[in-house]
Amino acid sequence: MMRRGLVLLVAVLATVVGWRLLDGRMQAANVEGALHGVTYAPWAKDQDPLEAKSSGFWSFLRTAVNEPATQQIKPRKEQIERDFAMLGGKVNYVRTYRTTDGGDVMPALAEKYGLKLVPGAWIYSANEAKQQFGREASEVNAEETRALIRMANQNPSVERVLVGNENILRWDGQKDQRDPNATSPAQLIREIRNVKRNVKVPVSTAEPWHVWLNYPELAREVDFLAVHILPYWDEKSSETPIEYLQNKIAELKRAYPNKNIIVTEVGWPSNGASRRSPGTGLVKHATPADQAKNVRDAVAWLRSQNIDHFVVEAVDQPWKSYDLEGKAGGYWGLWNADRQQKFAWTGTIERFPQWISCAAWSLAASVPLMLLFLWRWPGVRPAGQIGFCALLALSASAVVYGGSVAAGTYMVVSEKIGWGVLAFFLVMSLGMALVQALEMAETIWRGRWRREALPAAEMIARQPADRDWPKVSLHLAICNEPPAMVIQTLESLSQLDYPNYEVIVIDNNTKDPAVWRPVQDYCAQLGERFKFFHFDVMKGFKAGALNYVLTQTAPDAKVIGVIDSDYMVRPDWLKALVPY
């Protein structure tokens, strides 16, 4: 009992230590007080504005069973109010992207919760407007810019506005196409000029840093540079995230020494693919810990330089993972889609803070199985007990870790079903592997055998001289086997040093007589111990043949043995085996 208790204790401690090793500590700059600003999209966890439907599980069931699919998703005023209440006191400015996404209610809500707005108007290309609204781009853009002008002129809390978001970035990738699905610089400049004529606040458009360097004509049209600096996306860069931010700001200041620079997007995702620089091999990981470190470092440095900045983004937007930017796209928020803050702005950062709960779940799943094993198989030696208990803990930990990953991943219904199927097969596979491992542990580390396997000579020597040897019936089923090989097997069987046995050979489904007749003839030469049967057609093949042979077995046979056509047995085989 003491030994089993020690084995259990070792397994439990090893499990806890294993999970603890996944954790670690990272240092980052401390950020005190309210943030300057965040970007904000007003969509709830179950909303997908591009697909114009809710994406939650219950929404799926409703629309699949008895409700038509929602034709157009609009932001929910109550959701925006809850979000602004959450942001109040934690940030000063909220940057938005489209005036039609709740722009009519945001100014009043922002004032209510002590926030200032930096609203944006989304500028659509002809194709975008057609695809999303079935209307001309000029009409849709006019609605956006009119709403933006109205917000700027009617709300003193609006200190600057943005016309368009990454339009030229999209144009750069499609400008050589005949009908690009993006807005040209000339079109965007016309929209910027229109807004500037009608508002009294500074106007700009938001673009990545390199667009401002490559399009000086755009910089001349705006009152300030609204810059996106997102090192995670730049696979060519070998700089650390903070070095990347510092260097890009320095480049922009050299190019435009008289322009005010505002970083309108800076951030890092908490989930997504790792990205490796081909130059130095620097790997950029998208994890909660890396998000916390890189965002805190960036905000602290921008503050030290007195550069206004907006962290992208306030809340995770799961729909971006499905429609726009790959997996990482849905995980840039400072709060997750359930509106829970992801990390603290001060203190040490833990790489894997959930290790304690994961260890607890692993032990909850594995300890009962360990207790059952230690109680049911007490004869296994300590090395085998520790090894098998370790496999139980490792298997449970694998399932728990998979569950942890799934719990931190936004999924649509099809993905949830897929994960469920994978989880089922994982559990089944681990169960089968553990059964095999149990057999191995019981075989290799058994302390005492109930019936020990002895060498053949020793087993035969232990048998009394007058032992009554039971009759053995050996069954050999063949089909299209090389006759020379079968004859070798029969020859070894004919030399068995055993007084009471028969051999029944059955050939099934062999069409060529030249293959089976030599075997038949050889059986006849070996005498009456050897019987031969042939069937041109045998239902069930080998299984059917063996079932038939049972009907031909000698009535006094006490032991039945089945061998294959490529066996070569030793003369003492039966005398050493039958005593068991």
Cβ atoms of 218 and 211 closer than 8 Å: yes
The token pair at 469 is: 């040897």
Report the pLDDT value the prediction gives residue 14, as an integer from 0 to 100.
Answer: 95
Domain of 551, CATH number, reads: 3.90.550.10
C-alpha dist (Å) from residue 514 to 510, 518, 541 = 10, 7, 20
Report the pLDDT value the prediction gives residue 60, as an integer from 0 to 100.
Answer: 39
Say yes or no: 413 and 487 in one domain.
Answer: no
Single-letter code of the amino acid located at 229: I
Burial class (CB in 10 A: 0-12, 13-18, 19+), 473: buried
Note whether residue 453 is domain-resident. Answer: no
C-alpha dist (Å) from residue 23 to 20, 284, 351, 408 = 5, 18, 5, 17
Separation between Cα atoms, residue 228 and residue 375, nearest integer Å: 62
Say yes or no: 569 and 431 in one domain.
Answer: no
> What's the total number of domains in the chain?
3
Note whether residue 180 is domain-resident. Answer: yes
pTM of structure: 0.77
Report the pLDDT value the prediction gives residue 470, as an integer from 0 to 100.
Answer: 96
Note whether residue 29 is domain-resident. Answer: no
Say yes or no: 336 and 384 in one domain.
Answer: no
Note whether residue 7 is domain-resident. Answer: yes
CB atoms within 10 A of CB 448: 7
Separation between Cα atoms, residue 405 and residue 399, nearest integer Å: 10
The token pair at 461 is: 């020597």
The token pair at 5 is: 């208790």
Note whether residue 59 is domain-resident. Answer: no
Complete DSSP assignment for 62-96: HHHHTSPPPS-----HHHHHHHHHHHBTTEEEEE-
Helix (H, G, I), strand (E, B) or coil at 7: helix
**Omega prior to 313 cis, within 30 of 0:** yes
Separation between Cα atoms, residue 42 and residue 25, nearest integer Å: 34
Say yes or no: 213 and 322 in one domain.
Answer: yes
Report the pLDDT value the prediction gives residue 85, as an integer from 0 to 100.
Answer: 97
- Among 318, 339, 205, which residue's Cα sits nearest to residue 272? 318
Report the pLDDT value the prediction gives residue 128, as an integer from 0 to 100.
Answer: 84
Domain of 319, CATH number, reads: 3.20.20.80
The CA-based angle 510-511-515, given to 5 degrees, is: 65
Report the pLDDT value the prediction gives residue 413, as an integer from 0 to 100.
Answer: 87
Say yes or no: 466 and 410 in one domain.
Answer: no
Say yes or no: 41 and 109 in one domain.
Answer: yes
Say yes or no: 303 and 413 in one domain.
Answer: no
Say yes or no: 392 and 466 in one domain.
Answer: no
Of 418, 444, 470, the residue that ends a domain is: 444
Cβ atoms of 441 and 384 closer than 8 Å: yes
Helix (H, G, I), strand (E, B) or coil at 527: coil
Note whether residue 172 is domain-resident. Answer: yes
Say yes or no: 238 and 294 in one domain.
Answer: yes
Of 350, 373, 394, the residue that ends a domain is: 350
Report the pLDDT value the prediction gives residue 321, as an integer from 0 to 100.
Answer: 86
Widest CA span in the chain = 119
Buried b (16+ CB within 10 A) or exposed e, 307-342: bbbbbbbbbbbbbbbbeebebbbbbbbbbbbebeee
> Mind spelling out the 3-state secondary structure of 443-456?
HHCECCCCCCCCCH
Q: Per-residue confidence of the chain (580 residues) as pLDDT tens digits?
A: 788 899 999 999 999 999 999 999 999 999 999 999 999 999 988 888 876 544 444 343 444 444 444 456 788 899 999 999 999 999 999 999 999 889 999 999 999 999 999 999 999 988 888 888 888 999 999 999 999 999 999 999 899 999 999 999 998 877 666 555 688 899 999 999 999 999 999 999 999 999 999 999 999 999 999 999 999 999 888 899 999 999 999 999 999 999 999 999 999 999 998 988 877 788 899 999 999 999 999 999 999 999 999 999 999 999 998 766 788 999 999 999 999 999 999 999 999 999 999 999 999 999 999 999 999 988 899 999 999 999 999 999 999 999 999 999 998 888 899 999 999 999 999 999 999 999 999 888 887 777 777 888 989 999 998 999 999 999 999 999 999 999 999 999 999 999 999 999 999 999 999 999 999 999 999 999 999 999 999 999 999 999 999 999 999 999 999 999 999 999 999 999 999 8
Report the pLDDT value the prediction gives residue 177, as an integer from 0 to 100.
Answer: 65
Note whether residue 58 is domain-resident. Answer: no
Separation between Cα atoms, residue 358 and residue 365, nearest integer Å: 11
- Among 299, 305, 306, which residue's Cα sits nearest to residue 343? 299
Note whether residue 28 is domain-resident. Answer: no
Look up the domain containing 272 and give its range.
Answer: 34-48+74-350
Give tens-digit pLDDT for 209-234. 999 999 999 999 999 999 999 999 99
Report the pLDDT value the prediction gives residue 131, as an integer from 0 to 100.
Answer: 82
Separation between Cα atoms, residue 398 and residue 551, nearest integer Å: 51
> First and final CA of the chain: distance in angstroms?
33
